[in-house]
Amino acid sequence: MEAEPPSTPSSSGSHPCVVRPDVELLEEVLDQLEVSSFRDTRGRLGTRWPCFSLFFTIHDEDEVFSARTIYDHFFSVEDKPTLCAVLDEWNRDTTGLKGYTATDDDGSVIIVSEAMMRTDGGVTREQFAASATIWLGLAGSFHLWLTQRLSLAGLAGEPL
């Protein structure tokens, strides 16, 4: 006999405390946190910091809320093995935010971090706001850690 998958909460959102996250709610949360934001050409809500940009995305079709941070340094393809070793250390030792490299068509390598939360059946406004707040803090913490680790590895990268 096959095991049944665990049941998920009703997606009807019938519980009064459950909300369906959307970009407008996220804008409200960022306003309450006094974090300025903008919308990019792809409709993502973003925030800009001195050394990185963070983009929030809410995918209705697969019910996923995510935050992707792009850090303001370019590296060469030759640097990628060292970058991957540094990021492996972070990914092995932490949870909630995962870092990886991305290679542009011109061969330059950037560092990206990402956090995701499934929102099947909705979430409470408090859960949604807490996740956004935590992800903002993690992006900054990751940047500080990354700067230190890259320096120790002899990599600074070229600023954007």
CATH at residue 35: 3.30.1460.10
Is the pTM higher than 0.85? The answer reads: no
Tell whether 107 is covered by a domain.
Answer: yes
The string of pLDDT tens digits covering residues 104-145 is 888 899 999 999 988 887 888 898 899 999 999 999 999 999
Tell whether 10 is covered by a domain.
Answer: no
Tell whether 85 is covered by a domain.
Answer: yes
Alpha carbon distance 83, 69 (integer Å): 16
Higher pLDDT: 3 or 22? It is: 22
The string of pLDDT tens digits covering residues 68-109 is 999 998 899 999 999 999 999 999 998 889 999 999 888 899
Residue 134's domain comprises 18-159
Note the pLDDT of residue 39. 92
The number of distinct structural domains making up the chain is 1
Tell whether 13 is covered by a domain.
Answer: no
Tell whether 69 is covered by a domain.
Answer: yes
Tell whether 141 is covered by a domain.
Answer: yes
Alpha carbon distance 118, 139 (integer Å): 19
